[in-house]
Structure 1
Amino acid sequence: MGKLALVFPGQGAQYVGMGKDIYENYDKAKEVFEKGQKALGMDINKLMFEGPEESLSLTENTQPAILIHSIAILEVLKEKANIEPKAFAGLSLGEYSALVASGSFEFEDAVKFVRKRGKIMQEAVPEGTGSMAAILGLDRDILDEVIKECSVYGVIQAANYNCPGQIVISGELKPLEKAVELCKEKGAKRAVILNVSGPFHSSLLDGAGEKLKSELEAVNLGAVTYPVVSNVTGDYAEKEDIKELLVRQVSSSVMWEDSIGRLIDDGFDTFVEIGPGKTLSSFIKKISKKKNAKVSISNIDKAEDMEKFLSQE
């Protein structure tokens, strides 16, 4: 195995039934699920395994669910596979999973914190104030110009630079709608307002960041065993900067393409996505193609993915 980075998905990757077969097949995973459930003081396992989807999709439930699922898989992997990750990264919420993996954030503390984070983000902006939009197949520089042009109508900014040709924008409804129209005119393959509960990763969540800052003051972070790449900077985070970066993260653009680009530039050629879904694997494939880099990409979501990965070791 080459130089390995583990990456962790963010909100939107959840689904009813997530983690169930991992829980049932691996004792180490079951331990993680039970620890998470105890920390939260709620039956998060039942919600993940059985739904309903509406409740699982509430931000305050989605965030701890994805983190628990990801860390359960990680612990099984550590027990059964001979791997030595040299860096970690996570998309938005996934950055908390990365910090747990690195040893900086205690698991139980992280589970409780991301539930609070979800509530704070959910309550930050009145419903209907803003949203997000996905823009596919448009050059990053052109989209930046569109954002600049539409900012006269209100708050709008890039929320996620996911990979070449896939960027999410966020802000108030009027500038978003104008931007969607303009992106189509400029040749975007697709430009559509998303069905999300708020304008995440925009300045409309500055207030949420301030509340998170207060909550983070009570959290003790340890030193990272291996580097974690920050969403905010697309670069490695120093221990003393992690809290500030987590505060900024909710209202800043997620520099995912830059983050993976940095890892590839530093010789990382093996990526394993840990947690629900395969979204990050798709992003990494496109990023590596743009950089003409040959990389190995795997994802582990279910027990069958785990067994496949272990058989290739």
Structure 2
Amino acid sequence: MAAHAGELTRVKGLTRVYGERAVLDGLDLELAPGEFVALLGRSGSGKSTLLRALAGLDGDLTDGHSSRRQGSRTGGRTGGARGWTRVRSGGRSDSGSGSGSGGRSDDRAHDRTGVRPGSRVSGGTVEVPDQVSVVFQDARLLPWQRVLPNVVLGLPPGAERRGRESLAEVGLAGRERAWPNELSGGEQQRVALARSLVREPRLLLADEPFGALDALTRLKMHALLRRLYEQHRPSVLLVTHDVDEAIALADRVLVLDDGRIATEQRLDGGARHAELRAVLLRALGVTGDDRDAPARDAAVREDGRP
């Protein structure tokens, strides 16, 4: 499968309010074609909400407000006019150019005044390429289907050759007829990656895809994902809680906080890993005392005192 340049992914003024809480608060974000971006954030910061909007899985944002064109998606809705999905829902929407790499829109997409508890408010514009795939934390393979049918699920007849090629790319050549329960957790995630790649996505959304794997398998999957990315060059948005994973894989790391992009760090090779890690941990609210606690506790145990 050949690499391709893809198209721009743009979020403008995206707002999601649940009751009185703004999970996403006028968020702006752009991913350049072929860019690998990691998104960090505390639990409940809105990472998955943003990913669902990009994947077309947020019905409140899309129902009745999107123009569509047939495209290739895994776990989402198909793309929009001329290769883009334009979502306009609630409040005001702005389909102009984004404000850059991330931040907060000056043109607010909602007014919090008078929002009733339990109600939902949506606003903003989401533009994505017409071919989007999603990789979740669990592989989500159909247990009653063998590996190859899982990979080509939903594709037109004749896709088996492409499916075999994708399986070979992730190191599973010869396992086409295996059942999912015969595979290890890492192998199941490789099948999930193959299922995404066979659709030749221009945007790959990865929602903590390695969070359930052991440390050694996770490192191997990091290397595999980076190699596949270099070969195919889709835009990638990786949602993760792991700062080291973000630094190892991404070209740019964002921290989502209070409904908007609060921190951005580009990995240009200039900053040392330890310095960048410290910056990101501070942005996530992890203090020096928090980072030193495990070592301090270990030293106390070694000294024999409680």
TM-score by length of 2: 0.29
Q: Which has the larger radius of gyration?
A: 2
Indicate the structure with greater helix content: 1
